[in-house]
Amino acid sequence: MAEGDLPGAFAVMKDRPILLLVGDTDPELSQAQGSSLLSGNVNAASGMVVFAKTGHGVFRDSNLAQYRQSVATFLRKTL
């Protein structure tokens, strides 16, 4: 998703499944902001996963197991 009007983009996708991946020390997108973005989403599969001791780059080797599990769970809910 392109950066810019994130609230507007999430509002357009309010019925689509969204998996939001956030680091607990992310300076770009806090957990509160992520929750706010997802608050209008009505799809039961949507959710947010928070990675501990992680900033904006959640795609690190130390997060690989949690990432794989989170995506697998999300896909099972959506398919």
Q: Tell me: the pLDDT tens digits for 4-35? A: 788 999 999 999 999 999 999 999 999 999 99
pTM score, whole prediction: 0.89
Residue 62 lies in a domain: yes
Domain of 73 in residue numbering reads as 6-78
Residue 49 lies in a domain: yes
Residue 38 lies in a domain: yes
Residue 65 lies in a domain: yes
The total number of structural domains in the chain stands at 1
Distance CA 23, CA 54 (A): 4
Confidence at residue 50, expressed as pLDDT on a 0 to 100 scale:
98
- On the CB side of 6, how many CA atoms lie within 13 Å of its CA? 12
The amino acid occupying position 51 is F
Residue 51 lies in a domain: yes
Enter the tokens of residue 46.
Answer: 């949507």
Indicate if the pLDDT at residue 3 is higher than 70.
no
6's enclosing H/E stretch is: helix 6-12
Residue 1 lies in a domain: no
Residue 47 lies in a domain: yes
